[in-house]
Amino acid sequence: MKRLHVVVASTRPRRVGPAVGEWFAARAREHGGFDVHLVDLVDVALPLLDEPEEPSTGRYVHEHTRRWSASVEAADAFVFVAPEYNAAIAPSLLNALDCLYTEWFYKPVGFVAYGGSSAGLRAVQMTKQVVAALRMYPTVEQVPIHHVSEHLDEDGSFRPADHLPAAATAMLDELVRTADALAPLRHGRG
Amino acid sequence: MKRLHVVVASTRPRRVGPAVGEWFAARAREHGGFDVHLVDLVDVALPLLDEPEEPSTGRYVHEHTRRWSASVEAADAFVFVAPEYNAAIAPSLLNALDCLYTEWFYKPVGFVAYGGSSAGLRAVQMTKQVVAALRMYPTVEQVPIHHVSEHLDEDGSFRPADHLPAAATAMLDELVRTADALAPLRHGRG
């Protein structure tokens, strides 16, 4: 079974990302198509890009970059649980993408985006421009969450609107299909 | 005379940003339209957004955010000396924008972008989406530098192609005009 990393992309204090990520990871485990792992960028603790060499060389001098490289290398597919700041991608996610290179190649990515009226979709659209440079395959199927703060319980857990579980299933199905199809293109495995 | 901050946006090791920034700041001083200050984001040393409250509140608990707020508040116009990573804005610049809010309002911004074939223009176009959310005015006039690594001297200083000084002048003229026009809209000054 292929490995899916559900990446909680926001790292700011008081973020809602973990609640949304936990909901989605549980949904993905129910789906059954992947070995599901929740990855929190707070735990990854990457500073802004501080490697002396280009990420395309794969030569990393810092332990934090090496750890992140090993994490991304191990995954076959990703779901980014993504907030939107100023109509754009969060710097924490952009930096996590930019710190590596070939580790991302030929892996599909889906988005669980959240925001107010925009449901984070402007951030997703911008992220698609970046992942395209990294030879990733962004799924058309996505899980956009409108007005996320209205869907948090008193204990802080996320309660999805009725249409979201079906959207999650469609995205997971497409991630399984595309991860299988693209795997032969990945270096050392083709 | 209004104050222009020329912001060196890249913070990665072995960046060429300082060489380009020093060239542009010298050019801006010759132009004479602004009191010119060179600001290096390495010195600003912002971590990824770590404030508990929304930047729109202006309530900052960290000294690094307060210092950055005072710096941006003091400026009347900006030039971002901007690299391009993966066809996109650098996380260091995006994070520096996202950490503040009203400090940016109604201030014009020009771009000295650099890259290979793209001259950093894809990063500029993406940055315009973000600065628009911050009520900044991005000038049409810009200074795009193709194949920047071919324009560095042996001592690392930047030697511009022949057309760049005129492009810099046109951008500076527009920054002066728009900084003057927009200043009355800024809070506490209108």
- Assigned token pair, B174: 């527009």
Q: Indicate yes or no: CB of B86 within 8 angstroms of CB of A97.
A: yes
Question: In the prediction, which pLDDT does B144 show?
Answer: 97
- pLDDT band of residue A80 (cuts 50, 70, 90) is very high
For residue B188, what pLDDT is reported? 53
A174 within 8 A of A110, measured Cβ to Cβ: yes
User: What is the pLDDT, as a whole number, of residue A185?
Assistant: 94
DSSP assignments along B132-168, one per residue = HHTT-EE-S--EEESSGGGGB-TTS-B---TTHHHHH
Q: For chain A, what percent of residues have pLDDT higher than 90?
A: 97
Q: Which residues in B lie closer than 8 A to residue A50 (C-beta atoms)? A: 11-13
What tokens appear for B67 in the block? 């210092």
Q: Which of A48, A97, A132 lies closest to B95 in CB terms?
A: A48
Q: What is the pLDDT of residues B90-140, one digit of tens each?
A: 999 999 999 999 999 999 999 999 999 999 999 999 999 999 999 999 999
| Token reading at A2 | 């292929």
Q: Which residue of A has its CA nearest to B48?
A: A92
Give the C-alpha separation, B21 to B27, whole Å. 10
Q: Which among A12, A49, A122 is the nearest to B91, CB-wise?
A: A49
A144 touches chain B (CB under 8 A): no
Query: What is the pLDDT averaged over residues B51-74?
Result: 97
Q: How high does pLDDT run on average in chain B?
A: 96
Asked if A48 is an interface residue toward chain B (Cβ–Cβ < 8 A), one would say: yes
What are the tens digits of pLDDT across the range B146-188?
A: 999 999 999 999 999 999 999 999 999 999 999 999 999 996 5
Q: Which tens digit of pLDDT belongs to each residue from A129-172?
A: 999 999 999 999 999 999 999 999 999 999 999 999 999 999 99
DSSP β-ladder status, B35-40 and B3-8: parallel
The confidence score (pLDDT) of residue A189 equals 44
Contact A87 B133 (CB under 8 A): yes
* Cβ distance of A87 and B49 shorter than 8 Å: no
Q: Hey, are the CB atoms on B49 and A14 less than 8 Å from each other?
A: no
pLDDT at A101: 98
Is any Cβ of chain A less than 8 angstroms from the Cβ of B134?
yes
Which among B48, B51, B134 is the nearest to A95, CB-wise?
Answer: B48
What is the ipTM score, two decimals?
Answer: 0.90
Q: How far apart are CA A86 and CA A18, in angstroms?
A: 21
